[in-house]
């Protein structure tokens, strides 16, 4: 019987650092989607995207190992999904060139992330920085992905992938599935511990702003102790108390408790009791992920074996797709 499940694809750059926000806002949702049996899932470490900014080769290699291990530790199961490294699947950059010939210059110039990254990396505004949304479109379209679980900041890139697919399909009908952005409703945003008006980010220059999956317990306790709150020591969710509300979101995610339950638990106790409780909850939430990641990193040969098997599964799909597109374009079939 034909498999009717839809295809889901997600990718993450290999910084080697997964924040608490990344885990709760994205990766935990990926695991939930994987375990739902509703989708065929592909998860990709997008190392080709990473080189739009200058990388130290040794650091990039080690960070890729670290990220791959953390994704597995978080629950991505190579027996339930296709988990692979982008540069191990040649079809991605191959299709990217084809799609770049169906992408308008004006479309790329309107990408807000290009404008943002150009300002932050003014000494290295390279062509890859400009065209990487086309590579992202290739990542998506080469698998005929139906849904792309992304944050709101990536919606524009999925829209571009849709536009490219529609344009190509108009010229060569039936070539690509037109994907949909899937924005998770729950747990999408954990804010900075130092500036709760901004999303928690590993690129923040202040390390006290974010918690990493690989942070040791003492670092988590220290960062939580320094988290911004307000002069009113009452533990209550309010737009006027963004710092405390952010900590309540974190505590709720780590414990499963509602805001009402949290407010009742800390009634009259103040931040001196609340912050350590949040820290302890986060430590216990992340402990198994950190310990499993460290265990996996001790055996890089095993990680490489998982990477190779994932890439082999991915290439079985992508090679066929590239051959199909080449045939439509009129290229002579290669032997």
What are the tens digits of pLDDT across the range 65-113?
999 999 999 999 999 999 999 999 999 999 999 999 999 998 998 888 7
What is the pTM for the complete model shown? 0.89
Residue 188: pLDDT over 50: no
The catalytic position among 117, 241, 275, 321 is: 117
- The pLDDT tens digits of the residues spanning 158-184 come to 999 999 999 999 999 999 999 999 876
DSSP string of 4-23, one letter each residue: --EEEEEEE---S--BHHHI
CATH 3.20.20.300 fits 207-294, yes or no: no
pLDDT of residue 121: 64
pLDDT of residue 186: 52
pLDDT of residue 184: 64
Residue 246: pLDDT over 60: yes
The catalytic position among 6, 80, 202, 225 is: 202
- Is 202 a known active-site residue? yes
Compute the 3-state secondary structure of the chain and give helix, strand, coil in percent, each to the nearest 5.
Answer: 55, 10, 35
Residue 291: pLDDT over 70: yes
Q: Which fold has domain 6-188+299-329?
A: Rossmann fold (3.40.50)
Residue 40: pLDDT over 70: yes
Quick one: what percent of the chain has pLDDT higher than 90?
67
Q: Which pairing describes strands 39-45 and 82-85: parallel, antiparallel, or unpaired?
A: parallel
Report CA torsion sign: 214, 217, 219, 223: positive
In this chain, the answer to whether the domains covering 6-188+299-329 and 207-294 adopt an identical fold is: no
Query: In the chain, what are the domain boundaries?
Result: 6-188+299-329, 207-294
Average pLDDT of the chain? 90
């Amino acid at each position: 019987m034909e498999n009717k499940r839809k295809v889901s694809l997600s990718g993450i750059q290999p910084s080697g650092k997964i924040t608490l926000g990344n885990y709760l806002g994205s990766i935990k949702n990926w695991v939930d989607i994987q375990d739902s049996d509703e989708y065929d899932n592909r998860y990709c470490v997008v190392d080709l995207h990473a080189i739009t900014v200058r990388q130290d080769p040794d650091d990039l290699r080690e960070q890729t190992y670290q990220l791959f291990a953390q994704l597995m530790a978080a629950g991505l199961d190579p027996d339930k999904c296709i988990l692979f490294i982008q540069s191990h699947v040649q079809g991605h950059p191959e299709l990217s060139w084809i799609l770049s010939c169906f992408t308008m210059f004006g479309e790329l110039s309107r990408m807000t992330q290009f404008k943002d990254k150009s300002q932050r990396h003014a000494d290295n505004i390279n062509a890859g920085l400009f065209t990487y949304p086309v590579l992202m479109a290739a990542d998506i379209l080469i698998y005929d992905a139906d849904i792309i679980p992304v944050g709101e900041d990536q919606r524009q890139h999925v829209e571009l992938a849709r536009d490219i697919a529609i344009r190509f399909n108009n010229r060569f009908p039936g070539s690509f599935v037109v994907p949909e952005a899937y924005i998770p409703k729950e747990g999408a945003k954990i804010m900075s511990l130092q500036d709760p008006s901004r999303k928690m980010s590993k690129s923040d220059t202040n390390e006290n702003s974010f918690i990493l999956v690989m942070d040791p317990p003492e670092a988590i306790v220290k960062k939580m102790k320094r988290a911004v709150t307000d002069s009113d020591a009452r533990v209550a969710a309010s737009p006027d108390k963004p710092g405390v509300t952010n900590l309540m979101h974190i505590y709720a995610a780590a414990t499963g408790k509602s805001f009402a339950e949290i407010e009742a638990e800390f009634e009259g106790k103040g931040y001196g009791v609340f912050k350590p409780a949040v820290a302890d909850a986060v430590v216990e939430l992340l402990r198994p992920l950190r310990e499993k990641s460290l265990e996996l990193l001790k055996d890089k040969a095993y990680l490489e074996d998982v990477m190779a098997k994932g890439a082999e599964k991915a290439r079985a799909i992508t090679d066929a797709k590239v051959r199909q597109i080449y045939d439509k374009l009129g290229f002579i079939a290669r032997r």
